[in-house]
RNA sequence: GGUCCCGUAGCUCAGCUGGAUAGAGCAUCUGCCUUCUAAGCAGACGGUCGCGCGUUCGAAUCGCGCCGGGAUCACCA
């Protein structure tokens, strides 16, 4: 809608003031002023040698004369507000009605894929609020990229081995008396988490005894019987001891069943899971070959390092002196593996900002190793989720469990829906689905509307609010439109000859027209919050229209049919946009 | 201590590459349902954009210095 005007303005400025601009910046006119587009003329004063007002008027006059869509202008100080005719708005509207999936690019399977890694849990405890932000961001970013036409591979790396899971295993062996999810009815990941906590208690008790017997605190932690058992179990696991492996498999299977339940509730899914038990040895080869090329160096004690001080970072260990790998080592190996597994155009790690340094180093090392794709790696670094009381602390039991939270959201949706009497005529099953849709919509929107980079505060009470700038508000706007459209099915025929746009209608169409570029930009920035605020603006604007215009009882059948069509577009954009955030838009609520 | 991130209304957040009197929601107060769902709409109240310099015709936005908060700098993951 703007591009044609921009080039005309460029020509005018150049002709009038004898300069050679290649681009001018037109912005949308702020609501309190009349007009559609605004040119700030201050940059041209030097060339025009006139006052801001005179400069603006000169450009405005020329624009009215040269561009048929410009029907007027006004000048406020150095701001030229350009008034457009309805024509470009009508053209924009016609265009979006042609494509039922307008704003979403069709998938092009021939393009190399974008890989998005997210979630990536440990298998010793259930998912919590922090994982929820991670999952929602990862999933949404994947949908955004997909909406630009690029195939996406969603993956997670599951930290299924190591000390942490041995702790749960030791405690289970000692105290569980054979408890299983089946006969306790406890969800698998919660059951394993229970024994992880149990281990911690046991360790504390044993350490306390040792300290009382005169052992130093840090020594006591290492020599506590349960800790010795963990170390032994880790060795057994690495040696492939069948009994240990059997227990490990059994408990991890419980956890995965639990995780899958939560993932499915959240509506996220993965195309491939990487397991650390498979990948933890990866990378060592790459270090060895890099050692040959002089990228790494070996110290006298045998440990291997890389010197990143030239880039303002530190020296970083990549192999221990006993030759075993560290976290960095396997991340190097896993990245390389992934580019072998898939034809990838990019790889995005959705990981909290406490690992900023780690990824800086990782990307740098891969670049030093000479991988051309190293600059296609990105770290979607998001801020921590705090509670009003401060940071979540597992030791203080302030961690918000993911399953509990989803339950609460569903219950809150149920309470509110029933109070408002919104569920009449729905079957029991439909009601349950609706509560889930609304409850989850509220949670997802609450989290995704915030810029990922920023640390955010999660207030359980406020997230349950369904009024104002919330997911249910957007869902409600959608549902209300659906309700109108159901009654307005017969309204089809209209033409622009019989419809004049009201200011509200114009505003809605102008907003609708921004949907594709909003999606594009959000995908590029890997920022779902841009879509969230856009959808809020759209819903707000549509509700303003709804308040003053009737669709069904419009002045003429043509206008009614046009408004039905306009409403259809809004509902479509809302529902497609919400889907990018992993939120469903109900037809009734 | 080094490096990085953050600081906008009582609270939670928007403010794209610098542009007009800094915007929403919640909370508080006022109106609007015999008319397409009031989970809505309209309005009021509320801000030295952490502080101070500087660059600029113009700074919440860019630069520097402070103050306050957080993260990170492990032969941990």
Determine the nucleotide nearest to A473 by Cα–C1' distance. Answer: B39
Q: Would you state the pLDDT for residue A39? A: 95
Q: Would you state the pLDDT for residue A398? A: 82
Same domain, A169 and A260: yes
Asked if residue A193 belongs to a domain, the reply is yes
Residue A340 and residue A49: Cα distance in Å, rounded?
62
CB atoms < 10 A from the CB of A550, how many?
A: 13
Chosen domain end from A17, A52, A85: A85
Contacts (Cβ under 8 Å, ≥6 apart) of A169:
A195, A233, A244, A247, A248, A251
Handedness of CA A264, A268, A274, A276 (dihedral sign): negative
Q: Which of residues 15-34 of A touch strand B (CB under 7 A)?
A: 25, 27, 29-30, 32-33
Decide if pLDDT at A435 tops 80: yes
- For the CA of A564 and the C1' of B31, the distance in angstroms is 30
Residue A542 and residue A474: Cα distance in Å, rounded?
11
Asked if residue A92 belongs to a domain, the reply is no
Average pLDDT over residues A297-309: 91
Residue A1 and residue A233: Cα distance in Å, rounded?
66
Same domain, A271 and A179: yes
Max CA separation in chain A (angstroms)? 95
Asked if residue A149 belongs to a domain, the reply is no
Same domain, A181 and A266: yes
ipTM at complex level: 0.95
Chosen domain end from A63, A85, A107: A85
Summarised one tens digit per residue, pLDDT across range A401-411 is: 999 999 999 99
Residue A116 and residue A97: Cα distance in Å, rounded?
32
Residue nearest to nucleotide B38 (CA to C1'): A420
Residue A464 and residue A331: Cα distance in Å, rounded?
38
Q: Is the CB of A451 under 7 A from strand B?
A: yes
Q: Is the CB of A209 under 7 A from strand B?
A: no
Contacts (Cβ under 8 Å, ≥6 apart) of A498:
A556, A558, A559
Residue by residue, DSSP assigns A144-207 as HHHHTT--EEEEEEEB--SHHHHHHHHHHHHHSTT--HHHH---HHHHHHHHHHHHHHHHHHHH
Residue A262 and residue A440: Cα distance in Å, rounded?
12
Residue nearest to nucleotide B13 (CA to C1'): A450
Determine the nucleotide nearest to A42 by Cα–C1' distance. Answer: B57
Q: Which of residues 225-244 of A touch strand B (CB under 7 A)?
A: none
Summarised one tens digit per residue, pLDDT across range A119-154 is: 999 999 999 999 999 999 999 999 999 999 999 999
Which bases in strand B are touched by protein, i.e. have an atom under 7 Å from a CB? 3-7, 11-17, 19-21, 24-27, 35-42, 57-58, 70-77
Asked if residue A100 belongs to a domain, the reply is no
- For the CA of A507 and the C1' of B36, the distance in angstroms is 20
pLDDT bracket for residue A572 (50, 70, 90): very high
> What stretch of H or E contains A233?
helix A225-239
Asked if residue A413 belongs to a domain, the reply is no
- For the CA of A14 and the C1' of B58, the distance in angstroms is 23
Contacts (Cβ under 8 Å, ≥6 apart) of A180:
A191, A254
Contacts (Cβ under 8 Å, ≥6 apart) of A540:
none
- For the CA of A534 and the C1' of B42, the distance in angstroms is 22
> What stretch of H or E contains A445?
helix A428-448
Which runs of E-coded beta strand occur in A421-559? 456-457
Position of tokens 């929820």? A132
Average pLDDT over residues A276-282: 91
Q: Give the structural domain span for A10.
A: 3-85
Task: Enter the tokens of residue A313.
Answer: 């970072």
Asked if residue A31 belongs to a domain, the reply is yes
Q: Which of residues 38-77 of A touch strand B (CB under 7 A)?
A: 38, 40, 42-43, 76-77
- For the CA of A484 and the C1' of B44, the distance in angstroms is 33
- For the CA of A468 and the C1' of B47, the distance in angstroms is 21
Summarised one tens digit per residue, pLDDT across range A207-257 is: 999 999 888 888 888 889 999 999 999 999 999 999 999 999 999 999 999
Determine the nucleotide nearest to A550 by Cα–C1' distance. Answer: B36
Determine the nucleotide nearest to A479 by Cα–C1' distance. Answer: B37
Residue by residue, DSSP assigns A354-379 as GGHHHHHHHHHHHHHTT-GGGGGEEE
- For the CA of A401 and the C1' of B14, the distance in angstroms is 29
- For the CA of A383 and the C1' of B8, the distance in angstroms is 18
Summarised one tens digit per residue, pLDDT across range A478-535 is: 999 999 999 988 778 899 999 999 999 999 999 999 999 999 999 999 999 999 999 9
Decide if pLDDT at A1 tops 70: no
Summarised one tens digit per residue, pLDDT across range A17-68 is: 988 888 888 999 988 888 999 999 999 998 888 899 999 999 999 999 999 9
Q: Would you state the pLDDT for residue A217? A: 83
Q: At CB < 8 A and 24+ separation, what contacts does A16-24 make? A: A16/A48, A16/A58, A16/A59, A16/A62, A17/A44, A17/A47, A17/A48, A18/A47, A19/A44, A19/A47
Average pLDDT, chain A: 93
Determine the nucleotide nearest to A312 by Cα–C1' distance. Answer: B3
Residue A323 and residue A171: Cα distance in Å, rounded?
30
Decide if pLDDT at A272 tops 80: yes
Same domain, A176 and A75: no
Task: Enter the tokens of residue A332.
Answer: 């190097």
Percent of chain A with pLDDT over 90: 82
> What stretch of H or E contains A385?
strand A385-387
Average pLDDT over residues A425-449: 96
Residue A314 and residue A216: Cα distance in Å, rounded?
33
Average pLDDT over residues A253-263: 97
Asked if residue A252 belongs to a domain, the reply is yes
- Give which of A473, A127, A416, A76 is closest to A266, Cα–Cα: A127
Q: Which of residues 140-179 of A touch strand B (CB under 7 A)?
A: 159, 162-164
- Give which of A117, A118, A161 is closest to A280, Cα–Cα: A161
Q: How many domains does chain A have?
A: 2
Q: What angle, rounded to 10 degrees, do the helices at A402-419 and A428-448 form?
A: 120
Percent of chain A with pLDDT over 70: 100
Same domain, A79 and A178: no
Average pLDDT over residues A82-111: 95
Residue A495 and residue A90: Cα distance in Å, rounded?
10
Summarised one tens digit per residue, pLDDT across range A542-552 is: 999 999 999 99
Chosen domain end from A85, A116, A149: A85
Asked if residue A256 belongs to a domain, the reply is yes
Q: Would you state the pLDDT for residue A216? A: 85
Summarised one tens digit per residue, pLDDT across range A378-424 is: 999 999 999 888 888 877 778 899 999 999 999 999 999 999 999 98
- Give which of A251, A183, A147, A222 is closest to A524, Cα–Cα: A147
Angle at CA of residue A211, ends A208 and A216, nearest 5°:
130
CATH of the domain at A23: 3.30.1360.70
Decide if pLDDT at A463 tops 90: no
- For the CA of A455 and the C1' of B14, the distance in angstroms is 15
């Amino acid at each position: 809608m703007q591009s044609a005007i921009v080039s005309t303005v460029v020509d005018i400025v150049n002709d009038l003031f004898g300069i050679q601009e290649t681009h001018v910046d037109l912005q949308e006119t702020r609501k309190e002023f009349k007009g559609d587009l605004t040119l700030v003329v201050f940059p041209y004063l030097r060339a025009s040698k006139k006052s801001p007002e005179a400069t603006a008027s000169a450009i405005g006059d020329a624009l009215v004369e040269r561009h048929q869509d410009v029907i007027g202008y006004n000048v406020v100080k150095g701001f030229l507000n350009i008034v457009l005719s309805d024509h470009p708005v009508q053209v924009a509207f016609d265009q979006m009605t042609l494509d039922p999936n307008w704003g979403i690019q069709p998938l092009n399977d021939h393009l190399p894929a974008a890989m998005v890694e997210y979630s990536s849990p440990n298998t010793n405890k259930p998912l919590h609020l922090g994982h929820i932000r991670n999952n929602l961001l990862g999933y949404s970013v994947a949908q955004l990229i997909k909406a630009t036409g690029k195939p996406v591979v969603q993956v997670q790396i599951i930290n299924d081995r190591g000390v942490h899971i041995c702790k749960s295993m030791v405690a289970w062996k000692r105290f569980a008396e054979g408890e299983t999810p089946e006969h306790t009815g406890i969800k698998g990941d919660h059951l394993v988490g229970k024994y992880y906590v149990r281990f911690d208690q046991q360790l504390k008790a044993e350490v306390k005894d040792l300290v009382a017997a005169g052992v130093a605190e840090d020594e006591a932690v290492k020599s506590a019987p349960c800790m010795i058992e963990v170390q032994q179990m880790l060795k057994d696991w690495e040696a492939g001891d069948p009994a240990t492996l059997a227990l490990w498999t059994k408990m991890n299977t419980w956890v995965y069943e639990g995780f899958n339940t939560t993932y499915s509730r959240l509506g996220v899914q993965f195309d491939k899971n990487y397991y650390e038990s498979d990948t933890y040895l990866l990378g060592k080869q790459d270090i060895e070959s890099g050692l040959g090329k002089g990228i790494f160096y070996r110290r006298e004690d045998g440990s291997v390092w890389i010197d990143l001080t030239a880039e303002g970072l530190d020296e970083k260990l990549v192999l221990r002196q006993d030759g075993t790998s560290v976290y960095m080592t396997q991340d190097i190996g896993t990245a390389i593996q992934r580019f072998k597994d898939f034809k990838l155009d990019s790889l995005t790690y959705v990981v909290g900002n406490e690992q900023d340094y780690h990824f800086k180093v990782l990307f740098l090392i891969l670049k030093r190793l000479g991988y051309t794709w190293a600059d296609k790696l990105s770290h979607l670094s998001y801020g921590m989720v705090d509670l009003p009381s401060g940071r979540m602390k597992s030791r203080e039991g302030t961690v918000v469990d993911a399953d509990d939270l989803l339950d609460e959201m569903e219950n809150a949706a149920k309470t509110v829906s029933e109070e408002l009497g919104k569920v009449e005529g729905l079957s029991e099953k439909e009601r349950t689905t609706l509560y889930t849709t609304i409850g989850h919509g509220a949670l997802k929107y609450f989290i995704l509307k915030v810029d990922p980079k920023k640390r955010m505060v999660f207030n359980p009470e406020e997230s349950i609010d369904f009024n104002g700038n919330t997911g249910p508000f957007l869902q409600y706007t959608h549902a209300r439109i659906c309700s109108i459209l159901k009654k307005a099915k017969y309204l089809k025929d209209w033409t622009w000859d019989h419809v004049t746009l009201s200011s509200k209608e114009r505003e809605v169409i102008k907003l609708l027209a921004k949907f594709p570029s909003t999606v594009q930009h959000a995908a590029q920035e890997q920022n779902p919050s841009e879509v969230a605020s856009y959808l809020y603006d759209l819903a707000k604007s549509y509700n303003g229209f709804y308040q003053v215009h009737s669709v069904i009882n419009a002045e003429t059948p043509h206008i009614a049919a046009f408004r039905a069509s306009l409403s259809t577009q809004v509902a479509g954009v809302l529902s497609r946009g919400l889907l990018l955030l992993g939120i469903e838009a109900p037809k009734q609520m």
